[in-house]
Amino acid sequence: MNILLWTGGFWPAIGGIETHSMTLIRGLKKNGHNVTVVTDWSDKTWPTHESVFGSDVFRFPFKVGLDKLTEFAEMQRNIYKVMQNVPVDLIHANQGCNNHLFSFRLLQKRLSVPLVLTTHGLLGDQLLAYKETIHGAAWIACVSDYILQNSIQCMPHTHAYSSCIHNGIEIPVVMPAQLPVNPPVILCLGRLTEEKGYDLAVKSFAMLKNRHPQVKFVIAGEGRDRRKIMSLMRKLKLNDDIYFTGQLTVEQSIEWINRATMVVVPSRYESFGLVAVEAAMMARPVIACSVGGLQEIVIEGKTGLLAEPENPAALFQCMKYLIEHHDEAIAMGQAARARAISYFSVDRMITQYEAVYKRVLTGGYHG
């Protein structure tokens, strides 16, 4: 099967859509499919054409606005020129910026092939921008039931041609280490932005430090809110108690997860919650705020603990409980790994996408 993966974000950029795209092409290539990638040329130091895992990757300046019609038309002509020599049976597109969605819809109409759309976020204010794209999709795959229900609520007719396909990740080759207990290590991992809730975690750390002064706290990642978080740390006198790792590779992230006693995901919003799955794969109990797709990953009392959103005291109580009930923390971590392997593996995700591809190519689809 010849698949054109159209995605706003792609390696070497880092994020949920970028990780999903890389995982998808590796899994599809492994199963014998041909995958061509079209993505945004957001960093001019990146090549406009390269091969990644044996797939051609073409980058175009999607951020050229429709108000610059001459530049947009030139970009579109360049896309058509490249695609003339690329066999395409279907387009698989990741939800992203409006400009690139409009661009690939023009290409889809030109190629007359079905479109599979993966939605990674709530429609909400973007409904008008996505409405025409969603109408033109043969199938809509949502990364969580949370996103699926939102899609159906916003556009009820999509119920007939949409489903949930959870993101999958590779099972790490590194075996899980024992949960450290002396001292316990608490890890937060991801982009340092407001929606990720690191301020909530820092406040809960301050409460826990008074009760368990031996605990080590680690924040792994980078982002625009780092200064705000460090200012809050100074205010709470935690300067020497929280270690920042900076930006990590996937391999380094796994290493830090494997050093943790638990992983805390204090997000205000998550369409899915990839970090929670990564932690579960390494047999770490996860403490998460009960928002969005996180509630489909963390099973309360079995694979981790769910805390009330926007409530540092609730996060504190969860961390305190796992520190003081080490055997339960171990059991939750083991249960989390077993469930992650069963429900969130790459093989499961690829099998589900292949079923969708076959369905749309045999005419069993909307439009």
Q: Where are the beta strands (DSSP E) in 121-199?
A: 139-142, 162-164, 185-189
CA separation for the pair 81, 145 (Å, rounded): 38
The mean predicted confidence, pLDDT, of the chain is: 91
Concatenate the DSSP letters of all residues of 288-335 into one string.
Answer: EES-TTHHHH--BTTTEEEE-TT-HHHHHHHHHHHHH-HHHHHHHHHH
- Domain containing 71 — which CATH number? 3.40.50.2000
**pLDDT (tens digit, 9 = 90+) per residue, 258-302?**
999 999 999 999 999 999 999 999 999 999 999 999 999 999 999
Instruction: For residues 196 and 160, state if they share a domain.
Output: no
Has residue 136 been placed in a domain? yes
Alpha-carbon Rg for the chain in angstroms: 22
Instruction: For residues 305 and 350, state if they share a domain.
Output: no
Instruction: For residues 55 and 100, state if they share a domain.
Output: yes
Instruction: For residues 354 and 312, state if they share a domain.
Output: no
**pLDDT (tens digit, 9 = 90+) per residue, 172-210?**
999 999 999 999 999 999 999 999 999 999 999 999 999
CA 107 from centre of chain: 26
Has residue 248 been placed in a domain? yes
Task: Please name every residue paired with 51 in a beta bridge, in sequence order, or none if there are none.
Answer: 56
Instruction: For residues 157 and 228, state if they share a domain.
Output: no
**pLDDT (tens digit, 9 = 90+) per residue, 304-349?**
999 999 999 999 999 999 999 999 999 999 999 999 999 999 999 9
Count the residues in the chain: 367
Instruction: For residues 349 and 290, state if they share a domain.
Output: no
Where in the sequence is the domain holding 240, given as residue range(s)? 185-343
Cα dihedral value 96, 100, 102, 105, nearest 10: -90
Three-state DSSP state, 204: helix
Has residue 367 been placed in a domain? no
pLDDT at res. 103? 76
Has residue 225 been placed in a domain? yes
pLDDT at res. 16? 80
Has residue 85 been placed in a domain? yes
pLDDT at res. 107? 82
Q: 2-7 and 34-40 as β-strands: parallel, antiparallel, unpaired?
A: parallel
Instruction: For residues 55 and 191, state if they share a domain.
Output: no
Instruction: For residues 332 and 350, state if they share a domain.
Output: no
**pLDDT (tens digit, 9 = 90+) per residue, 158-171?**
999 999 999 999 99
Instruction: For residues 68 and 209, state if they share a domain.
Output: no
Instruction: For residues 139 and 273, state if they share a domain.
Output: no
Instruction: For residues 52 and 77, state if they share a domain.
Output: yes
Q: How many domains does the chain have?
A: 2
Give the number of other Cβ atoms within 10 Å of residue 153's Cβ.
Answer: 12
pLDDT at res. 92? 94
Has residue 214 been placed in a domain? yes
Give the number of other Cβ atoms within 10 Å of residue 217's Cβ.
Answer: 23
Which residues, 6 or more positions from 50, have their beta carbon under 8 angstroms from its beta carbon? 56, 57
Place of tokens 């994020």: 15
> Is residue 366's pLDDT more than 70?
no
pLDDT at res. 124? 67
Has residue 179 been placed in a domain? no
> Is residue 236's pLDDT more than 70?
yes
- 213 vs 111 pLDDT, higher one: 213
pLDDT at res. 365? 61
Check residue 117 and report its DSSP letter.
Answer: E
Has residue 223 been placed in a domain? yes
Instruction: For residues 337 and 356, state if they share a domain.
Output: no
